[in-house]
Amino acid sequence: MRHPRFGRAEPGEEDPNARSQGEVPRPGQTPSQTIGPFFSSALLGRGRDTPAPPGVRGTRIRVEGRVLDGAGDPVSDAMIEVWQANADGRYDHPSDRREDAEVHGDFHGFARLGTDTAGRFRLETVKPGPVPGRGNARQAPHLNLVVFARGLLDHLCTRAYFSDEPEANAADPVLAAVDPPRRDTLIAVLEGARQAPLPLVYRFDIRLQGGGEPVFFEF
């Protein structure tokens, strides 16, 4: 089927969007706009507060932190979204076609978290395994995070690595792309050992602006 506005080529036709012809430009991306302050009842809740419901295979962890603004005040109207691999390092997505890591039952890898009046958020999940990087590289276990809030015109993308994975972190290609003094801003810090079945607790604060501001990524 051909969409008139974009003139997409059928198989065997010349692609009218081909750069060499310099004709119809590609339709532009729809711009980002702020999530504003009034999203919470539409987006939060709805059973999406953990990537790994209880019973999913892996080490239970809790990641706690606060979202703070440039004055150090809590951001009480932020939303954090989490996307992570399972304990074997497999993403629950059709593009992850690896056969050496399996999908785990109820694990789906996605969560949405709000912040409270003190800017606090809390993630209950399993610790992700290492995942493939580009080429033959291997990435250290990490959580992919995005932050939305009033005052953020575009969402901010960052990652949380784990302080008890020093060797994997040292070999991680994304951390290697970051100025060494800023790498610590991407590390969730293990707070004291707990005994099973209590989860391991990590601390990861997100200062949107100023000293200690985490590295935000674009990709």
Partner 1 sequence: MFRPRGADSRPPNRFHAYGSTALRAPSRPAVAIGQTLSETTGPSRLAGVPDTDADLTRNARAGGEPQGERIVVSGRVLDEDGRPVPDTLVEIWQTNAAGRYRHPSDGHDAPLDPDFSGEGRTRTDEEGRYRFLTVKPGAYPWGNHYNAWRPAHIHFSLFGPAWATRLVTQMYFPGDPLLGLDPILRSVPGEAARARLVAAFSLDVTEPGRALGYEWDIVLRGRFDTPPLG
Write out the residues near Fe ion by the rule CB under 5 A: 36
- Which DSSP helix (H) or strand (E) runs through 10? none
Name residues contacting partner 1, limited to 173-192 (CB under 8 A): 174, 177-178
**Would you say 142 and 127 are in contact if contact means Cβ atoms under 8 Å apart?**
no
In the complex, the smallest distance separating the C-beta of residue 48 from Fe ion, rounded to whole angstroms, is: 22
In the complex, the smallest distance separating the C-beta of residue 142 from partner 1, rounded to whole angstroms, is: 7
* Contact map string, positions 74 to 93, toward partner 1, x by CB under 8 A: -x-x---x-x-x-----xxx
**Would you say 86 and 23 are in contact if contact means Cβ atoms under 8 Å apart?**
no
* Nearest to Fe ion of 14, 154 (CB atom): 154
Q: Could you give the CA distance from residue 56 to residue 104 in angstroms, rounded to a whole number?
A: 7
Widest distance between CA atoms in the chain: 64
In the complex, the smallest distance separating the C-beta of residue 194 from partner 1, rounded to whole angstroms, is: 27
* DSSP H helices in 100-158: none
User: With CB cut-offs between 5 and 8 Å by kind, which of partner 1, Fe ion, none does residue 37 bind?
Assistant: partner 1
Among 133, 164, 201, 203, binds partner 1 (CB under 8 A): 133
**What amino acid is encoded at 78 in this protein?**
A
Among 22, 94, 181, 197, binds partner 1 (CB under 8 A): 94
**Would you say 16 and 24 are in contact if contact means Cβ atoms under 8 Å apart?**
yes
**Would you say 57 and 126 are in contact if contact means Cβ atoms under 8 Å apart?**
yes
* Contact map string, positions 25 to 54, toward partner 1, x by CB under 8 A: -xxxxxxxxxxxxxxxxxx--xxx------
